[in-house]
């Protein structure tokens, strides 16, 4: 994964092999998803793909600084892994970025895209698009306290502020005043009122060409695209125009897609991960977590979609769903479920 920068614009099938810096780290990533991309999920995804960048769920600065739990916990096997922060107080964000670096995270990402009411009430997420100077101050404060990459994930607009000029002004202000070099653009605007977070992922139309144009107008910046991407063929098309692709729900609900990422997007010499092997590679982790008091179902819920499209997948899902949450459920449950998809 080291070497010289490769030109991405030759064709949509061009593979970036041996890229350095941001482009390498963000070529393909799994999106931060609340209640989904917890540390169990990320451990499983890392077994499926060695090169993808994995993101935590969004964690608020208040939870990290004042919470009783360890909101920065992760397994060393998850690298490269990025922490996504929610907040708008530069000092609090700086504190959390410093802590993230001390804990070994590879990147810190500021959430400027989540449209939920709860997030707005805390004055972070997509509403921050309306205050580019504050976003720049937040990023600059984090850069001053940590040397790891500080990146921004944002939308293409909010409410009636959805012109291309508004988006350009936002990117220009943040990148100039903070020296932020990496942006992940969710190719939809966000409605801050009237739509639920789920509707905000589906109702506002996708505008990929706008993100492509943004990259052309800011060629010095590294940009990844997010929103509605379901296949690696689509990812390759986007990579002809941009530096990176982030996939969310499709990667979670159909993690089989991740078994092909290393081979198709990084190095054709790398193997495609076998789903059955991947499940069994989880066994030592599952045993270790169960010994610490974790519940089997909290781990296996992230593995339900791994056999999508394979005979026996429905029985695998049903058996795990019905049995993994029972008291005393252990590896025997997973092994029994696996028998439904193993073909002699």
**Domain-embedded: residue 252:** yes
- At residue 304, the pLDDT reads 98
The answer on whether 17 is annotated among ligand-binding residues is: no
**Domain-embedded: residue 47:** yes
- pLDDT, tens digit, for every residue of 44-101? 999 999 999 999 999 999 999 999 999 999 999 999 999 999 999 999 999 999 999 9
Cβ partners under 8 Å of residue 57, min gap 6? 32, 33, 34, 35, 36, 37, 38, 84
Torsion sign, CA atoms 170, 81, 125, 237: positive
Query: Distance of CA 49 to CAs 52, 145, 179, Å?
Result: 6, 31, 31
Looking at residue 326, which CATH number applies to its domain? 1.20.120.1460
Q: Provide the number of structural domains found in the chain.
A: 2
The answer on whether 133 is annotated among ligand-binding residues is: no
Residues in the chain, how many?
Answer: 344
281 and 142 assigned to the same domain: no
Cβ partners under 8 Å of residue 78, min gap 6? 39, 42, 43, 46, 54
- Which runs of consecutive H residues, i.e. helices, occur in 227-306? 232-239, 249-253, 261, 275-281, 283-291, 296-300
Query: Distance of CA 187 to CAs 5, 12, 222, 257, 294, Å?
Result: 26, 19, 15, 21, 37
The answer on whether 311 is annotated among ligand-binding residues is: no
185 and 303 assigned to the same domain: no
Average pLDDT over residues 281-293: 98
The answer on whether 292 is annotated among ligand-binding residues is: no
Distance CA 293, CA 208 (A): 45
Say what percent of the chain tops pLDDT 90: 83
319 and 188 assigned to the same domain: no
pLDDT band at 9 (very low <50, low <70, confident <90, very high): very low
243 and 299 assigned to the same domain: no
- pLDDT, tens digit, for every residue of 300-311? 999 999 999 999
Average pLDDT over residues 275-304: 98
259 and 283 assigned to the same domain: no
Mean pLDDT of the chain: 91
185 and 80 assigned to the same domain: yes
Query: Distance of CA 74 to CAs 40, 42, 55, 56, Å?
Result: 9, 9, 11, 9
Determine how many CB atoms are found less than 10 A away from the CB of residue 47: 20
Strand 53-60 relative to strand 28-30: parallel, antiparallel, unpaired? Answer: parallel
Looking at residue 69, which CATH number applies to its domain? 3.20.20.70
**Domain-embedded: residue 7:** no
Distance CA 320, CA 303 (A): 9
Distance CA 208, CA 218 (A): 16
Question: Would the pLDDT of 321 be above 60?
Answer: yes
Exposure b/e, 267-281, CB count within 10 A at least 16 = b: eeebeebebeebbeb
Average pLDDT over residues 243-260: 97
137 and 279 assigned to the same domain: no
Per-residue three-class SS string for 155-188 = CCCECCECCHHHHHHHHHHHHHHHCCCEEEEECC
Specify whether the CB–CB gap between 262 and 256 falls below 8 A. no
**Domain-embedded: residue 40:** yes
**Domain-embedded: residue 3:** no
pLDDT band at 119 (very low <50, low <70, confident <90, very high): low
Exposure b/e, 211-243, CB count within 10 A at least 16 = b: bbebbeeeeebbbbbbbbbeebebbbbbbebbb
The answer on whether 32 is annotated among ligand-binding residues is: yes
Catalytically active residues, by annotation:
114
- At residue 200, the pLDDT reads 78
| DSSP of 33-81 | -TTTSSHHHHHHHHHH-SSSEEEEEEEEHHHHHH-SS-TT---GGG-SE
The answer on whether 3 is annotated among ligand-binding residues is: no
Residue 323's domain comprises: 275-339
- pLDDT, tens digit, for every residue of 121-179? 667 788 999 999 999 999 999 999 999 999 999 999 999 999 999 999 999 999 999 99
Average pLDDT over residues 276-284: 98
**Domain-embedded: residue 8:** no
The answer on whether 84 is annotated among ligand-binding residues is: yes
pLDDT band at 204 (very low <50, low <70, confident <90, very high): confident
Distance CA 83, CA 142 (A): 13
The answer on whether 54 is annotated among ligand-binding residues is: no
């Amino acid at each position: 994964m080291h070497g010289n920068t490769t030109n991405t614009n030759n064709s949509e099938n061009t593979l970036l092999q041996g890229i350095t810096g941001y482009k390498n780290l963000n070529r393909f990533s799994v999106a931060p998803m609340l209640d989904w991309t917890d540390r169990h999920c990320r451990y499983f995804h890392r077994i499926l793909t060695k090169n993808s960048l994995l993101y935590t769920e969004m964690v608020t600065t208040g939870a990290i600084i004042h919470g009783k739990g360890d909101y920065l916990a992760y397994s060393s096997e998850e690298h490269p892994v990025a922490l996504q922060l929610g907040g708008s107080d530069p000092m609090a964000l700086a504190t959390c970025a410093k802590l993230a670096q001390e804990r070994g995270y590879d990147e810190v990402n500021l959430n400027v895209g989540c449209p939920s009411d709860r997030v707005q009430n805390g004055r972070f997420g997509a509403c921050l698009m309306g205050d580019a100077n504050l976003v720049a101050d937040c990023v600059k404060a984090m850069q001053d306290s940590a040397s790891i990459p500080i990146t921004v994930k944002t939308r293409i607009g909010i409410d009636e502020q959805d012109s291309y000029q508004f988006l350009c002004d936002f990117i220009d202000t943040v990148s100039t005043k903070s020296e932020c070099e990496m942006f992940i653009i969710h190719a939809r605007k966000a409605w801050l009122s009237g739509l639920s977070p789920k509707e905000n992922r589906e109702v506002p139309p996708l505008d990929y060409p706008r993100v492509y144009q943004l990259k052309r107008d800011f060629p010095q910046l590294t940009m990844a695209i997010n929103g509605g991407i379901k296949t690696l063929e689509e990812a390759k098309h986007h990579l002809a125009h941009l530096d990176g692709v982030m996939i969310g729900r499709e990667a979670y609900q159909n993690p089989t897609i991740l078994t092909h990422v290393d081979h198709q997007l990084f190095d054709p010499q790398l193997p495609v991960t076998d789903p059955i092997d991947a499940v069994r590679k989880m066994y030592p982790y599952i045993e270790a977590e169960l010994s610490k008091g974790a519940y089997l179902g909290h781990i296996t819920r992230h593995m339900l979609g791994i056999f999508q499209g394979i005979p026996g997948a429905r029985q695998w899902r049903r058996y795990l769903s019905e049995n993994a949450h029972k008291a005393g459920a252990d590896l025997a449950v997973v092994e029994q479920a696996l028998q439904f998809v193993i073909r002699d």
